[in-house]
Amino acid sequence: MSESMNGAVLELVREAPLLQLSMQQAINRALGEILETDERALIFGEDVGVLGGVFRVTDGLQQRFGANRVFDTPLAESGILGTAIGLAMAGFHPIPEVQFDGFAYPAVNQIITQLARMNYRSRGRLPMPVTLRVPSFGGIRAPEHHGESLESLFAHVPGLKVVSPANPQQAYHLLKHAVSMPDPVIFMEPKARYWNKAGVNLVDNVVGDGISGGTDGPLTGRASLEGSVIARPGKHATLIAWGSMVSRCLQVAELAAEDGIELEVLDLRWLKPIDEAGLAASVSRTRRAIVVHEGPRTIGLGAEVAALVSQSCFDTLRAPVERVTGFDVPYPSGDLEDEYIPNIDRILFGVQRVLEYRRG
- pLDDT of 39-76, one tens digit each? 999 999 999 999 999 999 999 999 999 999 999 999 99
Give the pairing type, strands 263-267 and 270-272: unpaired
Provide the mean pLDDT of the chain: 90
Residues 149, 221, single domain; the answer is: no
**CA 157 – CA 179 distance, rounded (Å):** 19
- Per the model's pLDDT, the better-predicted residue between 148 and 161 turns out to be 161
Q: Is 104 exposed, middle or buried (0-12, 13-18, 19+ CB in 10 A)?
A: buried
Residues 62, 136, single domain; the answer is: yes
Q: What is the Cα gyration radius of the chain?
A: 20
Catalytic residue among 93, 146, 173, 293: 146
Active site residue 236: no
Residues 269, 134, single domain; the answer is: no
Domain boundary residue, one of 200, 221, 245? 200
Q: pLDDT per residue over 319-345, tens digit each?
A: 999 999 999 999 888 889 999 999 999
What's the start-to-end Cα distance of the chain, in Å? 45
- pLDDT at site 173: 96
With respect to residue 352, please indicate whether it lies within any of the assigned structural domains. Answer: yes
Domain boundary residue, one of 200, 221, 254? 200
Residues 155, 265, single domain; the answer is: no
- Residue 230 CA: distances (Å) to CA of 164, 178, 234, 266, 283: 15, 20, 9, 5, 11
Residues 185, 235, single domain; the answer is: no
Residues 96, 58, single domain; the answer is: yes
**CA 196 – CA 324 distance, rounded (Å):** 24
Residues 165, 229, single domain; the answer is: no
pLDDT at 208 over 50: no
Report the candidate in 210, 131, 140, 139 with the shortest Cα–Cα distance to residue 170: 210
Report the candidate in 331, 330, 325, 283 with the shortest Cα–Cα distance to residue 308: 283
Report the candidate in 229, 241, 226, 332 with the shortest Cα–Cα distance to residue 289: 241
With respect to residue 61, please indicate whether it lies within any of the assigned structural domains. Answer: yes
pLDDT at 214 over 90: no
Residues 142, 33, single domain; the answer is: yes
* CATH number of the domain residue 95 falls in: 3.40.50.970
Task: Quickly count helices (H) and strands (E) in the chain.
Answer: 13, 15
With respect to residue 11, please indicate whether it lies within any of the assigned structural domains. Answer: no
Given CA atoms 150, 156, 159, 165 in this order, what sign does their dihedral have?
Answer: positive
With respect to residue 7, please indicate whether it lies within any of the assigned structural domains. Answer: no
Residues 172, 263, single domain; the answer is: no
**CA 12 – CA 37 distance, rounded (Å):** 22
Q: Which domain holds residue 222?
A: 210-356
User: In 10 A of CB 319, how many CB atoms?
Assistant: 17
User: In 10 A of CB 335, how many CB atoms?
Assistant: 9
Model's pTM, two decimal places? 0.90
Domain boundary residue, one of 151, 171, 200? 200
Residues 234, 352, single domain; the answer is: yes
**CA 47 – CA 26 distance, rounded (Å):** 19
* CATH number of the domain residue 292 falls in: 3.40.50.920
Q: Phi/psi at 264 (nearest 5 deg)?
A: -90, 135
Residues 163, 46, single domain; the answer is: yes
- pLDDT at site 5: 47
With respect to residue 10, please indicate whether it lies within any of the assigned structural domains. Answer: no
Angle at 331 between CA 135 and CA 130, to 5 degrees: 30
- pLDDT at site 12: 47
Coil vs helix vs strand at 121? helix
Please list the alpha-helical segments (H only) found in 202-243.
Answer: none
With respect to residue 205, please indicate whether it lies within any of the assigned structural domains. Answer: no
Omega before 182 within 30 of 0, i.e. cis = no
- pLDDT at site 223: 57
With respect to residue 225, please indicate whether it lies within any of the assigned structural domains. Answer: yes
Report the candidate in 137, 86, 133, 144 with the shortest Cα–Cα distance to residue 110: 86
**Sorting pLDDT into bands at 50, 70 and 90, what band is 6?**
very low
- pLDDT at site 204: 58
Residues 32, 151, single domain; the answer is: yes
Poorest-pLDDT segment among 17-26, 33-42, 50-59: 17-26
Coil vs helix vs strand at 266? strand
Give the pairing type, strands 289-296 and 322-326: parallel
Report the candidate in 194, 170, 152 with the shortest Cα–Cα distance to residue 305: 152
Structural domain count, the chain? 2
With respect to residue 105, please indicate whether it lies within any of the assigned structural domains. Answer: yes
